[in-house]
Amino acid sequence: MSAQPPAIKMQDVTVSARWDESLPMVTGVNWTVAPGEFWAVGGLQQSGKTDFLMLAAGVMPPLAGSLELFGRDTREFGEAELAERLRVACVFEHGQLFSHMTLAENIALPLRYRRNLGAAEAVDEIMALLDLLELTPHAGALPARVSRDWLKRAALARALVLRPRVLLCDNPLNGLGARHREWWRRFLDQLWQGHEQFGGEPMTMVVTTEELVPWQHPERRFALLQGGQFFPLGTWAEAARSADPAVAEWLTGIPATTI
Amino acid sequence: MQKDLAKVFEPVNVDFLRGLSQPKSFTDYLGRKLFLFGLSARGMGAFALITLGVMQRKRDVAVQVMQPRIRHEIRRSGVALLPMFGLMALGLGFLVVGQTVAALAKVGAINYLGSTMVIVVVRELGPLLTAMLLLARVGTANVIELGTARAMGEVEVLESLGIDPVHYLIVPRVIGMTTAMFALTVYLIVGALASGYLCAFLQNVPLGPADYCQQLAAALSPLDFVFLVLKTILIGFVIAIITCYHGLAQPIRLEEVSQVSVRAVTQGVLIPILVDGCFIVIYLLT
């Protein structure tokens, strides 16, 4: 395990806003994610969680500093290294499914595009994924006709269809009903431990969240995005030893006084 | 990646220029507008080259996904507009061609009919009217669709899935609009000339269909066909690039989509007229 390069490594990174590439959202990020780790990154709204995740996925370049994925600097990434970048997948907060396609078509799109498959050729693989994520009853529906709970699940299926090694989820529990929240926690945990449908290999996980408590686990790692800074906290036990009242608030529930 | 693209398209902080105080004089106003237009033109030039590069480099990528998308865009930009163009051809024929035929007959200048029709309909009205209708029906939809997709983060989604947004979103639209522009212009010209004769016939103008066709054929030179093909393809490409550029090339917020649409339509009207003007100059020089 130790010989493997870090899945994600940021050095002195400045994260810019998606809407304005010259506007820094988070500065001085030094962060290393080893393969198989599970990170929960807490941050309030407008703290730059989505921008941070877009950057970690290699979709957005850093405004300053360097980003490495699997030991390779993303500045070297071109068409030839695309397969490397696609080992990191991203689940967007609102699903961001394409409105003119059904859920099944949305999920099949990356698979069909990357492997040049016709719609019929991708069916078996997509059906298996739909079954696994309990999406089969909604497969033929357009996103506008499906509730947010299922849209987010379809976005997860779309991210998993290329069998990534690192999964980045942007605020996955936000706006979900209790049953779906529980399903997400369990399913992401199974992926982290190594899901048999994805080869049984542990998947590296990063979730952003507005509450750290639901992700509490002794082996998981935590960090905060606050005031334009990134604060790695370590494990739950290490974070609990912090004297910072803001950290204590995050560990006990939804932070309020430090907004 | 996105930042690099943005730098190519918007090398100067255009928002700063747009946010300046009121211009002090008309020349100040004109200068700013020209400067902004120049920057936009530079961005669009870069965008056009990138699109052509992607079309060439990725012609064999994801064919099974791209072919249905290209067919859809050709259907949307071309086939779906045929009824409207049929009506426009009828209107153009009755209003313009029919009146011209009748007026020439009254002054005994019916021998000039062929050359008048070729200049008015084949060289000018046909391509320009098609361009305006295509811009109104498909171009504006392109800006809004792409602008909304950009604002909703769908471009980032495509990038994260390893799908080139220019290949997936732009190339089918460019092919669809370019093909449609050529085909619809031909339909409009043929329809307008036919309905124009019908109008003249109903006004008892003494001109047989064989004479009418013969005059048109005599007035048309091979250069007219070459220029018609080149002009329609170029104008179709330019409209597609303008609308796609404004919709997709720069990060925008949802509330900016309407402003971007207005800008794209303004440039979509002006630039094809400039292209048309260039063709007139070339024609006159040859």
pLDDT in tens, B161-177: 999 999 999 999 999 99
Residue-wise pLDDT tens digits, B118-158 = 888 888 899 999 999 999 999 999 999 999 988 888 888 99
Q: Does the complex come out with an ipTM higher than 0.85?
A: yes
**CA dist., res. A97 & res. A94, Å (int):** 8
> Scanning every residue of chain B, which has its alpha carbon at the shortest distance from the alpha carbon of A17?
B251
> Is there a domain that residue A134 lies in?
yes
CA distance A110 to chain B (A): 6
Looking at residue B1, its pLDDT comes to 44
> Judging by DSSP bridges, how do beta strands A221-226 and A229-235 pair with one another?
antiparallel
B residues 64..103 contacting A (CB < 8 A): 64-65
How many other C-beta atoms can be found within 10 angstroms of the C-beta atom of residue A234?
Answer: 13
Question: Taken in order B274, B277, B282, B283, is the CA torsion positive or negative?
Answer: positive
Domain assignment present for A133? yes
Residue in the structure block whose two tokens are 């599970």: A38
Listing from the earlier edge strand, what are the strands of the sheet with A221-226?
Answer: A72-73, A64-69, A8-16, A24-33, A229-235, A221-226, A38-43, A204-209, A166-170, A88-91
Q: Is the dihedral of CA B195, B201, B207, B211 positive or negative?
A: positive
State which residue of chain A sits closest to B251, comparing Cα positions. Answer: A19
Nearest-by-CA chain A residue for B252:
A19
Classified as helix, coil or strand, B171 is: helix
CA-closest candidate to residue A46, choices A17, A14, A12, A20 = A17
Cβ–Cβ < 8 Å for A159, B156 = no
- Say how far apart CA B237 and CA B157 lie, in whole Å: 26
Cα B245 off chain centre by: 14
A210 assigned to some structural domain: no
| Rg of chain A in Å (alpha carbons) | 18
The alpha carbon dihedral of B164, B170, B176, B178 has a sign of negative
Q: Is A170 helix (H, G, I), strand (E, B) or coil?
A: strand
What is the DSSP-derived secondary structure letter of residue B255? G
How many domains would you assign to chain A?
1
| Residue B62 contacts A, CB cutoff 8 Å | yes
Residue A110 and residue A79 in contact, taking contact as beta carbons nearer than 8 Å: no
End-to-end CA distance of chain B: 44
A221: amino acid identity, one letter: R
Output the CA–CA distances (angstroms, integers) from residue A238 to A44, A66, A207, A248, in the order listed.
Answer: 21, 27, 19, 11
Domain assignment present for residue A28? The answer is: no
B234 pLDDT band, cuts 50/70/90, is very high
d(CA A72, CA A83) in angstroms, rounded, equals 13
Cross-chain residue pair B65–A112, CB shorter than 8 Å: yes
User: According to DSSP H, which parts of chain A are helical?
Assistant: 49-56, 82-85, 103-115, 123-132, 148-160, 178-193, 236-240, 245-252
Count of structural domains within chain B: 1
Both tokens assigned to B217? 């054929």
Nearest to A53 by CA among A249, A181, A230, A233: A230
Structural domain span for residue A142: 96-163
Q: Which residue has the higher pLDDT, A98 or B119?
A: A98
Contact residues, chain A, for B153 at CB < 8 Å: 18, 92, 94, 96
How high is the pLDDT of residue A79?
77
Binned at pLDDT 50, 70 and 90, residue A243 comes out as confident
B201-210: average pLDDT: 82
CA angle A177, A182, A188 (to 5 degrees): 120
Q: Where residue A233 falls among pLDDT bands split at 50, 70, 90?
A: very high
Task: Compare CB distances from B251 to A18, A59, A113 and report the shortest one's residue.
Answer: A18
Q: Tell me what pLDDT residue A56 has.
A: 94
Whether A217 is in a domain gets the answer: no
The mean pLDDT value of chain A amounts to: 91
In a domain, A145, yes or no: yes
Instruction: Work out the minimum CA distance from B97 to partner chain A, whole angstroms.
Output: 42
What is the extent of the structural domain holding B151?
2-285
Query: Which of the four pLDDT bands, split at 50, 70 and 90, describes residue B6?
Result: very low
Mean pLDDT of A11-29: 89
Only one residue has tokens 């005599």, namely: B218
User: What residues of chain B lie within 8 A of the CB of A53, using their CB?
Assistant: none
A71 in a domain, yes or no? no
Mutate to test the interface with B, among A19, A52, A59, A101 (most CBs of B within 10 A): A59
Distance separating alpha carbons of residues B66 and A77, to the nearest angstrom: 24
Choice among A196-205, A235-244, B60-69, B199-208 with the minimum mean pLDDT? B199-208
Contact yes or no for B2 and A21 at CB 8 A: yes
pLDDT at B7: 47
> Does a structural domain hold residue A62?
no
Contact in structure between B236 and B185 (CB atoms under 8 Å): no
Taking the CA atoms of chain B, what radius of gyration do you get in angstroms?
A: 22
Say how far residue A100 (Cα) sits from the centre of its chain.
24
Q: How far apart are CA B5 and CA B233, in angstroms?
A: 26
pLDDT surpassing 50 at residue B229: yes
Q: Which residues 6+ apart lie within 8 Å of B184 measured at CB?
A: B78, B81, B82, B85, B130, B133, B134
Q: What is the C-alpha to C-alpha distance for residues B252 and B232, in angstroms, rounded to an integer?
A: 31
Contact B154 A59 (CB under 8 A): no
DSSP for A35-53, please give it. TT-EEEEEE-TTSSHHHHH
Q: How far apart are CA B157 and CA B154, in angstroms?
A: 5
Sign of CA dihedral B41, B47, B53, B55: negative
Residue type for position B121: V
**The pTM is what?**
0.86
